[in-house]
Chains A and B, each alone.
Chain A
Amino acid sequence: MDTSEQLRILGQIGDIPSLAEKIRETNMFPLCAKGIDILQINMGRCCNLSCRHCHVDAGPQRKEIMSRQVLEKCLEILSSFPISTIDITGGSPEMNPNLEWFIGEAAKLNRRLIIRTNLTLLLEEPYRHFMDVFAQNKVEIVTSLPDYLETKSDRQRGMGVFDKVIKALRELNLHGYGMKNSGLYIDIVHNPVGAYLPGLQAALENEYHKRLLIEQGVHFNQLFCITNLPVGRYLDYLIESGNFEDYLSALCHSFNPAAVRNVMCLIMLSVGWNGLLYDCDFNQMLDLTVNYDTPTSIMDFDMDKLKNREIVINNHCYGCVAGSGSSCQGATTTGD
């Protein structure tokens, strides 16, 4: 479904108030950024998997790949400003031929360096060496494992994917990832396999640690619960399964003002494969570039204009402010 159709559907939510109305009730509207602490770089939409919940609509057929020129500009900006976290995402970032070079350059900046990878490519040539590249450069790995049950996880990501992820996790444990005092971190993303919200992150993290250690012999650091936002393939799923209205209603009824105060776009800037700038990766997939007189391309980067920019919101953003809140780093409140 193209982005204009997605936005049309997100604009027609019946009796449910718009998110802008909900935020106005809390006197927090408009949302404005509080600086740029995370630069999230989407290396491209090409991926070896085609997960059913993917907001990127990524897959092997996608050809969009970030160029070296855009990556060089990212490095220039990172060198010039004290942005503490570099967050690399995709698609499969490994499928961008510039990844290894970029990690080497980014690591020299001594920032927190994160890569979001589905891990499965790391078991195949010519990608196997990335396990060493990540470890040598102390890259924090964030990987998706929607459920600790194979059948459930594979329903979302494809047959055999769970098994490959577990194999890769075991190998990464041997490299030191997820092991005590190694300084190498691997975090797992849980997102619901269906039309419901994630439970409390702390409780699910305990369950994941217990089940993955006992049943799979796998260690990891933290669990990040991420609510599925009604964007991309997940929006298709909600509509096809007749869950769209109920899901939006559930998000709205779980609206949490505390999560609005902690929403990730307040401290993040997202860079698209072609250098366009967004408030987050979800806005990126809806073609909602940064707005309100701020430069929309990284080539015109202007920290003064971007650091306090007004955030572009739409009804998909309900996903980040429902329940315990949701971000690329998991829940944004304790949920108590």
Chain B
Amino acid sequence: MSYYEPKDLADFPNITEWAQKEGNKFFEYYGAATGAGKLTEREKSLIALTVAITQNCPYCIDAYTTKCLSLGISSEEMMEAAHTGAAIMAGVTLAHSTQMRKIIKKKEM
């Protein structure tokens, strides 16, 4: 058995279980934040997919890859978004080396 099973995605709406009020508020917020606004649904779906990939969430990767396909977003566009996410993750990592460099410079003779 795998911890992550594709059919678990269908259980996502049930996360309101045992905390109905908070769960409902989350879904209300989720709907508002991911629906078309000043950004289009396409743009928001690419952002969501990129975050899902960088955060290694198999459920969100499944859901948003499928959604991007449904919206007519090409494989090339999705891969380009994945590279943007990868570059930012690399940047985040390297930016944090500033802390390392500061400490090295302070402590080394």
Contact string against A for B residues 16-45, beta-carbon threshold 8 Å, 1 for contact and 0 otherwise: 000000000000000000001000111000
Residue of A whose beta carbon sits closest to that of B35: A336
Is B72 within 8 A of A196, CB to CB? no
Per-position 1/0 for A236-270, Cβ under 8 A of B: 00000000001001100100000000000000000
**Contacts A200-B41, A203-B40, A203-B41 given; does A253 touch B72 at CB 8 Å:** no
A13 touches B (CB below 8 Å)? no
Given contacts A203-B40, A203-B41, A203-B42, contact A198 B6 (CB under 8 A): no
User: Chain B residue with minimal CB distance to A246?
Assistant: B6
Interface residues on B, range: 10 to 19
B109 within 8 A of A: no
Is A149 engaged at the interface, CB distance under 8 Å to the other chain? yes
B70 touches A198 (CB 8 A): yes
Question: Do the beta carbons of B10 and A203 come within 8 Å of each other?
Answer: no
In the assembled complex, which residues on chain A have CB atoms less than 8 Å from the CB atom of B36?
A: 203
A253: which of B10, B40, B71, B74 is its contact (CB, 8 Å)? Answer: B10
Q: What string of 1s and 0s marks CB contacts (under 8 Å) between A187-204 and chain B?
A: 000101010111110011
Q: Closest B-chain residue to A207, C-beta based?
A: B72
Within 8 A of A (CB), among B63-77: 66-67, 69-72, 74
B-contact bits for A135-148, CB 8 A (1 contact / 0 none): 00000000000011
Most buried by A among B7, B42, B72, B74: B72
In the bound complex, residues from chain B placing their C-beta under 8 Å from that of A152 are 74
The answer on a CB contact under 8 Å between A199 and B72 is: yes
User: Across the interface, do B74 and A149 meet the contact criterion of CB distance under 8 Å?
Assistant: yes
In this complex, the member of A152, A197, A199, A203 whose beta carbon has the largest number of chain B beta carbons within 10 angstroms is: A199
A152 to B76, CA, bound (A): 12
Min CB–CB distance B6 → chain A (angstroms): 7
- Decide yes or no: A199 and B70 within 8 Å by CB, A246-B6, A249-B10, A253-B10 being known contacts: yes
In the assembled complex, how far is the CB of residue B80 from the closest CB belonging to chain A, in whole angstroms? 14
Partner of A148, one of B6, B66, B70, B72: B72
Contacting residue for B69 out of A190, A192, A203, CB 8 A: A192
Which residues of A from 141 to 173 have beta carbons under 8 Å from B?
Answer: 147-149, 152
Residues of B within 8 A of A200 (CB): 41, 71
Contact check: which of A149, A194, A204, A246 meets B71 at CB < 8 Å? A204
CB distance B10 to A194 under 8 Å?
Answer: no
**Nearest CB in chain B to that of A197: its residue:** B70
Q: Complex: how many Å from CA A219 to CA B72?
A: 19
Closest residue of A by beta carbon distance from B36: A203
Report how far A105 CA is from B31 CA in the complex, Å.
52
In whole angstroms, how far apart are the Cα atoms of A199 and B35 in the complex? 13
Instruction: Return the 9 tightest CB-CB contacts between A and B, nearest first.
Output: A199-B70, A199-B71, A196-B69, A196-B66, A196-B70, A207-B72, A204-B72, A197-B70, A149-B74
Binding site for B on A (CB under 8 A): 147-149, 152, 190, 192, 194, 196-200, 203-204, 207-208, 246, 249-250, 253
Listed in ascending order, the chain B residues whose CB lies under 8 Å from chain A are 6-7, 10, 36, 40-42, 66-67, 69-72, 74
Pairs across A and B, CB under 8 Å, 16 listed: A147-B72, A152-B74, A190-B72, A194-B69, A198-B70, A199-B41, A203-B36, A203-B41, A203-B42, A203-B71, A204-B71, A204-B72, A207-B42, A208-B72, A249-B10, A250-B66
